[in-house]
């Protein structure tokens, strides 16, 4: 499930976008993957391309797919389907009606070879390899271009793709292990707890059982219009556990229309019985939706004269320190940078500042250095830059002033100033002439909100809209009090059809469908957050209050993060109580103990926490492992991998394994999902630090559930670490 309470959501952003890769690339299937109509091809989208596909047919139902081209050869897909399924005949009801069911699945596709003059591209893949198994298939496929307009494809499929005119598995010549394929069963109709839960790797099925051939062709009639035809190896037999598809023919025909590089529309005649429709919305995060360079021009570097270069000391009579500080503060404010502290000697000037505008600390540092050349005494030879966030000094970068003066507007200036700089931990406060903490600053705003729930147990998409009021009171640079209140425009609502657990665990997440449904104003959050630097390499955070939609309490955290290290280590301990479902100031009441949790005066409370390791792999890849205790009292670990692009986009995935069994967890077997962060400046074209984040989960359950607290330390300090500064250093002169 995904909840985003303010601003845009990644899904709507992608649907609304009209930008994508510069060339059109391959067209997409009704399953949301590059290919023909149902069947895959050996083609791959452009690296980093994201595609969201919405497909519909009368008996095939709805499919919503998210596909991401991770590398030049490897892609992955997540899919949510809504379709009719045949009811199981019983003695009491020998002729049951069909019923609507929901299905989640994951795909992977890897291109083994590139196409050459006489050799086709060859790919191997698996469809629904990590789901309930309704579409479970494996395949190997080859595609070859004939001229510039025609691509022909042929492949061999197993599982669902091995049904139509099937024959004995050719892998059986290697071993008879491949001759038979275990039969899929749905746990809803089975007493066997080992099958049908979804979320489990069905390795005992892969490339086993009968195989079948599929083939097809796509002809590109014009730059926008293409025609497709295929012989599908899926025949949708009318069995109890199969989707209720009206199937009459293996021949499918269709067309694709690339309205613009970011929108592809499709229509098809499927199964010999029905019309299907498809829309695919394509975006590549490495390419900008708006014109680049809309940032306001930076101030020019002020170059010292020969006489000024000869100065060995600072003439304090001509340039009083107070005047320098005031002048620099005013200049920095133009750039959205707040002067926190300043220390000036005859040869060095140490600036501690807070960047409130630029996503890249390197860009803010470059702008601040330019302003320093305007007013810092000419005898100063070295600028010492110390960026700050949430009152925490993040790092220290020493820049030779003469290099700043000589490199501006030269070829290779970014690399040259990087090589001339030195990086280390931020210094101590001693010696800094610090500006007093700002007067308690009160900020507030009122605006519309859109909250989406996607891929939950009740359907592919549910939405809530209304007004949200936000207020923030900055007591000091290190202490902030923040709150949000929402008023829905939809009035009182019924709960979504989530799955309650009956396994001895408290519904620590699956009850969220019941929160805030009264139609009255709800308190989304109200908390105070305090940040401190314990040692030069260790940071601390304490957050207390109504931390999120479902929980209130206290969250504490320590983070060891040396500036030059790719590794950071953290520890978090939280004491939280479950809030009332009306999302007021009260807490939930429970009549009995659950999973040995302590219940005092009817309130459910628990201690949760994790030890975390963060590692910057390089080239934008970041790995994270969290080990500890989750909200339901289960113990385990969460593994995450994210890719962050230089323009601020971040796309990644995670999975959590705990001592809660897959049977207790329920459908999905374990927690997993895809997460996306989109910077606002990608679309606005003007600098801002604001982002919007979404999480796409196959199903929100209670196992592996973590507290959702804002302002965790690693994301707060990471922008000032050497690895992040290095990755975005190209923006220093922007």
Q: What is the pLDDT of residues 523-582, one digit of tens each?
A: 999 999 999 999 999 999 999 999 999 999 999 999 999 999 999 999 999 999 999 989
Query: Which range, of 430-434, 518-522, 650-654, averages the lowest pLDDT?
Result: 430-434
Predicted pLDDT at 579: 93
Domain ranges of the chain: 15-283, 306-437, 441-474+478-725
What mean pLDDT, rounded, does the chain reach? 86
Nearest of 206, 150, 202, 148 to residue 177 by alpha carbon: 206
CATH of domain 15-283: 2.40.160.40
- Residues 228-248 have a mean pLDDT of 81
Q: What percent of the chain has pLDDT over 70?
A: 86
pTM of the model: 0.85
The residue to which tokens 């609304």 are assigned: 16
Residue-wise pLDDT for 205-215, tens only, equals: 899 999 999 99
Query: What would the mean pLDDT of 634-660 be, rounded to a whole number?
Result: 92
290 pLDDT above the threshold of 60? no
**331 in helix, strand or coil?**
helix
Mean pLDDT of 600-616: 85
According to CATH, the topology of domain 441-474+478-725 is Porin (2.40.160)
pLDDT of 502 reads 60
Measured distance CA(183)–CA(166) in Å, rounded: 16
Closest CA to 728 of 606, 644, 631: 644
437-492 pLDDT, tens digit per residue, is 777 889 899 988 877 665 555 555 667 888 999 999 999 999 999 999 999 998 88
Q: Which of 91-105, 547-561, 694-708 has the lowest mean pLDDT?
A: 91-105
Kindly report the backbone phi and psi dihedral angles of residue 726, in degrees, each rounded to the nearest multiple of 5, phi listed first. -65, -45
* Residue that wins the pLDDT comparison between 453 and 721: 721
- DSSP for 37-74, written as a single string: SSSB-S--PPTT-EEEEEEEETTTEEEEEEEEE-SSSE
What is the distance between the alpha carbons of residues 128 and 76, in angstroms, rounded to a whole number? Answer: 11
Residues ≥6 apart with Cβ < 8 Å to 120: 42, 113, 142, 143, 144
The first and second tokens of residue 94, run together, are: 């020998």
**Which pLDDT tens digit goes with each residue over 165-191?**
999 999 999 999 999 998 755 444 344
Q: Which of 76-85, 256-265, 353-362 has the lowest mean pLDDT?
A: 76-85
pLDDT of residue 80: 83
Note whether 520 and 534 are within 8 A (CB): no
State percent of the chain over pLDDT 90. 60
Task: Assign 601 a pLDDT band (cuts: 50, 70, 90).
Answer: very low
Query: What confidence score (pLDDT) does residue 88 get?
Result: 67
**What is the pLDDT, as a whole number, of residue 15?**
44
* Distance, CA of 351 to CA of 110 (rounded, Å): 50
Q: Could you tell me the two tokens for 399?
A: 């820049």
Q: With CA atoms as reference, report the closest residue to 164 among 129, 142, 137, 185.
A: 137
Alpha carbons 344 and 313: distance in angstroms, whole number: 11
Q: Is 41 exposed, middle or buried (0-12, 13-18, 19+ CB in 10 A)?
A: buried
- Residue 628 three-state SS: strand
Q: Are strands 348-355 and 382-389 parallel, antiparallel or unpaired?
A: parallel
Is the distance from CB of 634 to CB of 643 less than 8 angstroms? no
> Given this chain, do its domains 15-283 and 441-474+478-725 carry the same CATH topology?
yes
């Amino acid at each position: 499930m995904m909840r985003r309470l303010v601003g845009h959501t990644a899904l709507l952003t992608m649907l609304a976008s009209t930008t994508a890769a510069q060339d059109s690339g391959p067209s997409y299937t009704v399953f949301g993957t590059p290919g023909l109509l149902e069947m895959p091809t050996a083609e791959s989208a452009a690296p980093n391309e994201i595609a969201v596909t919405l497909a519909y047919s009368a008996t095939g139902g709805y499919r919503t797919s998210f596909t991401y081209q991770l590398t030049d050869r490897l892609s992955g897909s997540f899919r949510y389907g809504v379709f009719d399924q045949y009811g199981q005949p019983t003695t009491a009801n020998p002729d049951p009606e069909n019923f609507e069911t929901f299905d989640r699945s994951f795909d992977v596709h890897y291109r083994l070879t590139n196409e050459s003059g006489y050799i086709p591209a060859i790919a191997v893949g698996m469809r629904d390899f990590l789901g309930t198994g309704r579409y479970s298939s494996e395949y190997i496929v080859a595609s070859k271009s004939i001229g510039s307009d025609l691509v022909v494809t042929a492949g061999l499929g197993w599982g669902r793709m091995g049904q139509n005119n099937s024959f004995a598995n050719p892998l059986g010549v290697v071993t008879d292990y491949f001759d038979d394929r275990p039969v899929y069963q749905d746990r809803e109709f089975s007493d066997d707890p080992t099958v049908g839960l979804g979320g489990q790797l069905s390795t005992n099925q892969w490339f086993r059982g009968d195989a079948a051939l599929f083939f097809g062709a796509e002809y590109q009639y014009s730059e926008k219009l293409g025609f497709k035809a295929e012989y599908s190896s899926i025949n949708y037999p009318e069995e109890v556990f199969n989707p209720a598809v009206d199937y009459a023919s293996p021949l499918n025909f269709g067309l694709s229309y690339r309205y613009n590089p970011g929108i592809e529309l499709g229509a098809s005649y499927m199964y010999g019985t029905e019309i299907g429709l498809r829309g695919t919305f394509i975006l590549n995060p490495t390419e900008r939706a708006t014109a680049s360079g809309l940032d306001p021009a930076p101030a020019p570097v002020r170059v010292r004269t020969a006489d000024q270069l000869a100065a060995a000391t600072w003439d304090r009579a001509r340039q009083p320190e107070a005047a320098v500080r005031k002048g620099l503060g005013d200049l920095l404010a133009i750039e959205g940078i707040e002067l926190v502290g300043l220390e000036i000697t005859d040869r060095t000037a140490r600036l501690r500042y807070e960047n409130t505008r630029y996503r890249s600390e390197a860009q803010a540092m470059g702008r601040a250095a330019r302003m320093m050349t305007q007013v810092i005494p000419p005898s100063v030879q070295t600028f010492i830059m110390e960026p700050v966030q949430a009152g925490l000094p993040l790092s220290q970068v020493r820049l030779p002033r003469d290099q700043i003066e000589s490199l501006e507007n030269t070829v290779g200036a970014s690399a040259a100033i990087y090589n001339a700089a030195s990086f280390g931990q931020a210094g101590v406060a001693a010696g800094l002439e610090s500006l007093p903490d700002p007067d308690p600053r009160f900020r507030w705003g009122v605006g519309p909100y859109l909250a989406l729930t996607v891929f939950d147990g009740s359907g592919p998409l549910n939405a809530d809209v209304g007004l949200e009021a936000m207020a923030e009171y900055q007591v000091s640079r290190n202490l902030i009090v923040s709150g949000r209140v929402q008023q829905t425009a939809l009035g009182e609502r019924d709960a979504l059809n989530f799955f309650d657990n009956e396994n001895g665990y408290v519904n620590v997440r699956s009850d969220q469908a019941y929160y805030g449904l009264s139609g009255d104003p709800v308190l989304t959050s109200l908390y105070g957050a305090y940040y401190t630097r314990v040692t030069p390499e260790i940071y601390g955070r304490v957050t207390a209050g109504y931390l999120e939609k479902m929980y209130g309490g206290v969250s504490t955290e320590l983070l060891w993060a040396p500036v030059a290290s790719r590794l950071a280590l953290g520890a978090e301990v939280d004491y939280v109580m479950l809030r009332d479902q009306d999302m007021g100031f009260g807490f939930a009441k429970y009549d009995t103990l659950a999973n040995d949790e302590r219940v005092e005066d009817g309130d459910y409370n628990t201690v949760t926490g994790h030890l975390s390791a963060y590692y910057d792999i390089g080239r934008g890849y970041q790995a994270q492992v969290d080990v500890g205790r989750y909200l339901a009292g289960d113990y385990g670990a969460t593994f995450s991998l994210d890719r962050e692009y230089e323009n601020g986009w971040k796309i990644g995935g995670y999975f959590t394994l705990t001592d809660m069994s897959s049977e207790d967890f329920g459908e999905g077997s374990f927690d997993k999902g895809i997460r996306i962060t989109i910077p606002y400046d990608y679309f606005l074209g003007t600098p801002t630090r604001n982002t919007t984040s979404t999480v796409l989960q196959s199903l929100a359950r209670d196992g592996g559930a973590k507290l959702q607290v804002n302002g965790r330390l690693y994301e707060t300090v990471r922008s000032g670490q050497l690895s992040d500064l290095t990755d975005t250093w190209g923006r220093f002169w922007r």
